[in-house]
Each structure stands twice: as structure tokens, then as C-alpha cells.
């Protein structure tokens, strides 16, 4: 059995996240305090109690999700003697989850990751004025069809407008992103093409498209100054769907990720091809566990979120 750890992205946050871990494990409380100290904010209180609207803000959700994922990894190590470097073959994360994966594997220290994600969230929010961008889910579409729909929808009355595939999640779930008018045209085109369901998403900015270029520039500057080490295990990068261990390459890939497609379907396929048969989603929610059942139905998929999840995993590990 070859084990991969996967780390969730934005959308998995919810009030109450991490609270049961903090109640059960001192190392989890220490982890959340370390993030709070790095950010100069009581993020843990927001995670535990909400309100949901504030937790969902990109600048809060990104470090919060990373904090829960790293807390789970630290609990596994402290309570169960689980050695990630020895027991896990590959790590990968969905969008911001790539930072969680890299932190779990030792590329970033926790405080650095928290500050990078705070900057990333703030920069992504500022990159496009409110109301100018949009994202939409195309359910029942594959990436190639979605890309063709985007290409045909770029030209509008105002000229050429960005719309591109943001997330290829697999299992017929593709998310597109770009200028609001172009995304709306793509939604209508998808419906006309017989896509099962096409709908705008309630997001605050058009993530993972060319309109995020100002945020990519901000991350390039921040990552150039950030201390980075070789990860203890290779990380499968979002934008290449291939394992990488060199810090300089990782830095470039993280910059490209801001405007590039999250190739999650291909990331999972790469991990399966490398021999991974068990996938543990480390952190809040079960979004990736659900996707795993579509992308790799022959694999074992499980979520490590609650103290009970952790106990059961350590018993079987």
C-alpha cells in the first residue's frame, strides 16, 4: 500500500473547524496559537466560532485551512509517532492546499506559510475590482470541452475578454474563471452544448485565470524572500501535475499557480500512476475525498479531520 496525503482548498472552511482538535490535543492548540502569533490575529476564534461570512473571506480562509491541515499532521506525529517522510509517498494540495502540503512536508515553516497565505488571499482579492470577474461550475463537462467553450466565449461586444479553465477537478466537474461577461457567455454556451449543469459560483474574485496577474506578481516578490527547504516527500504540483522537490522550481510553480489551471484530475492520475493506492485528505471537510471516488474509484479514500478520524487512522497505520 502506497499512501498519499492530499490537502483541501478554499470552500472546505466552515465555522467550528479545528475546534475538536484543539479541545483534544495540546499540539493542535499550539499550532493554532503559532498561526495567530504569525498573523497578529485571533484566527482560531474565527475558525471555531465564525461568523461564516468573515471566515470565508479569502484572506482568512486560506491560512485557516492550512492551519487545520498542519494541526492534523502534527497530531499524527505527536500522538501516533507517524513519520510523514517515511510513511507518505507523495503530497498534493488543491490550490491553497499546495501550501499546506509543502508546509506538512517541511518546505515552509508554519509562520511563513501563514503569512504567505494571508498575502496570497489579500492579493487575489485586490487583483480584480468587485463585480468585474466571475467563476462558474460546468458539471458534466470534461476539461477539453470546457476549454473549447471558453475559447469561443472570449470575444464579446467589449472586445476580447478572459475566460479560462480554472479547476479541472475530474469526474465531469470543471470550474471556469474570468471576466464576468465572458463567463456568463460561457455558461449560456455550455447550456446550449448540452452540458448537464452550468452555474455561476458565489465567489469574490475570478481565481486561477489571467486576471490574477497582479496577485502572481505579489507572490513572486514574497516567495523570492521566503525561506524554503526541500520537501521531505515530493509534492505533485497543481500546474504541471508532476512531482517536484527542488525549492526554486516549487517557487516558480507557486507563482504560476495563481493564474494557472489547477489540474487536479491529472494530479490524482499522476499519484495513482506512481503507485499510490490510499489517499488521506488531511484537514477540513471531505471535498477531495468525494472527488477521489470519481477520479480513482479503485483507490481507498479517507478523510483525516476529527479526533476519531485520526484515532482510526493511527490504529490501521
Torsion angle (degrees, nearest 10) of CA 273, 279, 167, 126: -130
Find out whether the peptide bond into 145 is cis, omega within 30 degrees of 0: no
- Burial of 208: CB neighbours in 10 Å, binned 0-12, 13-18, 19+: buried
3-state DSSP call for residue 268? helix
All three cell numbers of 89:
509517498
Among all residues, which ones are annotated catalytic?
Answer: 95, 208
Nearest-Å Rg of the Cα atoms of the chain is 19
Full strand arrangement of the beta sheet holding 197-200: 163-170, 173-179, 133-139, 197-200
Q: Identify any residues that bridge with 170 across adjacent strands, giving them in sequence order.
A: 173
Instruction: Choose among 99, 106, 143: nearest CA to 124.
Output: 99
β-strands 159-160, 235-236: how paired? unpaired
Half-sphere exposure of 157 (CA within 13 A, CB side): 3
User: Cα 221 vs. chain centroid, distance in angstroms?
Assistant: 21
Amino acid at each position: 500500500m502506497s499512501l498519499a496525503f492530499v490537502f483541501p482548498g478554499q470552500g472546505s472552511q466552515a465555522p467550528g473547524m479545528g475546534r475538536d482538535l484543539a479541545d483534544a490535543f495540546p499540539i493542535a492548540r499550539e499550532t493554532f496559537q503559532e498561526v495567530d502569533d504569525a498573523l497578529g490575529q485571533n484566527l482560531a476564534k474565527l475558525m471555531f466560532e465564525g461568523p461564516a461570512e468573515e471566515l470565508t473571506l479569502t484572506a482568512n480562509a486560506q491560512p485557516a485551512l492550512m492551519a487545520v491541515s498542519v494541526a492534523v499532521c502534527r497530531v499524527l506525529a505527536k500522538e501516533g509517532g507517524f513519520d510523514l517522510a517515511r510513511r507518505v509517498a507523495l503530497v498534493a494540495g488543491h490550490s491553497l492546499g499546495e501550501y499546506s502540503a509543502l508546509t506538512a512536508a517541511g518546505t515552509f515553516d508554519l509562520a511563513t506559510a501563514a503569512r504567505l497565505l494571508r498575502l496570497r488571499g489579500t492579493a487575489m482579492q485586490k487583483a480584480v475590482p468587485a463585480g468585474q470577474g466571475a467563476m462558474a461550475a460546468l458539471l458534466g463537462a470534461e476539461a477539453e470541452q470546457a476549454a473549447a467553450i471558453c475559447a469561443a466565449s472570449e470575444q464579446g461586444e467589449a472586445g476580447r475578454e478572459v475566460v479560462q479553465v480554472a479547476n479541472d477537478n475530474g469526474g465531469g466537474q470543471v470550474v471556469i474563471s474570468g471576466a464576468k461577461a465572458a463567463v456568463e457567455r460561457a455558461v449560456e454556451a455550455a447550456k446550449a452544448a448540452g452540458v448537464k449543469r452550468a452555474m455561476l459560483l458565489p465567489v469574490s474574485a475570478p481565481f486561477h485565470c489571467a486576471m490574477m496577474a497582479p496577485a502572481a506578481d505579489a507572490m513572486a516578490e514574497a516567495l523570492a524572500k521566503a525561506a524554503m527547504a526541500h520537501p521531505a516527500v515530493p509534492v505533485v504540483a497543481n500546474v504541471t501535475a508532476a512531482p517536484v522537490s527542488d525549492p526554486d522550481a516549487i517557487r516558480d510553480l507557486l507563482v504560476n499557480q495563481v493564474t494557472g489551471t489547477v489540474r487536479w484530475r491529472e494530479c490524482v492520475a499522476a499519484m495513482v500512476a506512481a503507485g499510490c493506492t490510499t489517499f488521506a485528505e488531511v484537514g477540513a471537510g471531505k471535498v477531495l475525498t468525494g472527488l477521489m471516488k470519481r477520479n480513482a474509484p479503485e483507490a481507498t479514500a479517507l478523510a483525516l479531520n476529527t479526533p476519531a478520524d485520526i484515532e482510526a487512522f493511527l490504529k490501521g497505520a
